[in-house]
Chain A
C-alpha cells in the first residue's frame, strides 16, 4: 500500500531552537496534514494543506505542501517545552477520505 517516510524519527533539542521535520512518498496526494499527539491522547490537527506549493503558518508552526505533491515539511520556530510530543504527517484526499500516516517524529525539548 501507500507509505509515507517521515524523518527524523526523533529529535532532542534545547528550548528556543528551531525544528524541522519532513515526509516523503512515492505516491501523489491531494492533501497533506500535520498532527501532534500528546502521550495517551489522540492526535490533534496542527495544519492542513490542500494545494501544491502551499505554505501555511499557524503561530510558530509553518508547513509546506511540496510542489510535486509527494512531500511536505513542518517547521517549528523557537521551541518551548510544551512542544514535546509525537508529530505525524498524514496524506490523503483520494478515495473515501482515507489517510496514510507517517511513522511519527518524537520531539523532546530540554528547558
Chain B
C-alpha cells in the first residue's frame, strides 16, 4: 500500500539536543511538507519541498532544518534553537507543481516531547 511513514511515533529528548524526525513516502509525490500542530492552533507550515534538492521556509521555520536528498525522504531536524519544540509534527505530500490543487496526504505524525 502506498503511503507516508513517519517514525518514531513518540520521541523524547532533553533540552539542548538536536533531534531528527523521519518522513518517507512511496506515493511518488514530488512535493513534501512539514507541519507543526499545537492544541487550538491548527496546523502551521514549517518547511516544504517541491522537488529533490530544493526546499523553502514555511511560516515557522526558525529553529528547524530539513534536507531533500531523495524524492521519497524529507527528514526534519528540530534544533536546540527551537524555543518550544514540544508538539505533534505532521509530514505530508502531494503530486508536483502541475497539480497544485491536489490535496495533501498526511502521515500519522510524531509526537515530540522535550524536557
Q: Within the complex, what minimum Cβ distance (angstroms) separates A11 from chain B?
A: 15
Q: Taking the complex as formed, is A62 at the interface, i.e. its CB lies under 8 A from any CB of chain B?
A: no
A88→B109 contact, CB < 8 A: no
Q: Taking the complex as formed, is A21 at the interface, i.e. its CB lies under 8 A from any CB of chain B?
A: no
A92 and B99 alpha carbons, distance in the complex (Å): 12
Contact with A along B100-113 (1 / 0, CB 8 A): 11111111110100
On chain A, the residues within 8 Å of B45 by CB distance are: 98-99
Interface magnitude class on chain A: 20 to 34
B100→A93 contact, CB < 8 A: yes
Interface magnitude class on chain B: 20 to 34
Nearest chain A residue, comparing its CB with the CB of B10: A40
B102→A1 contact, CB < 8 A: no
Q: Which residues of A in the span 83-111 have a Cβ within 8 Å of any Cβ on B?
A: 88, 90, 92-93, 96-99, 101-104
Highest count of chain A CB atoms <10 Å: which of B97, B104, B106, B109: B104
Q: Within the complex, what minimum Cβ distance (angstroms) separates A16 from chain B?
A: 28
On chain B, the residues within 8 Å of A104 by CB distance are: 40, 42
State the A residues within 8 Å of B (CB).
Answer: 1, 4, 6, 9, 30-31, 33, 35, 40-45, 48, 50, 88, 90, 92-93, 96-99, 101-104
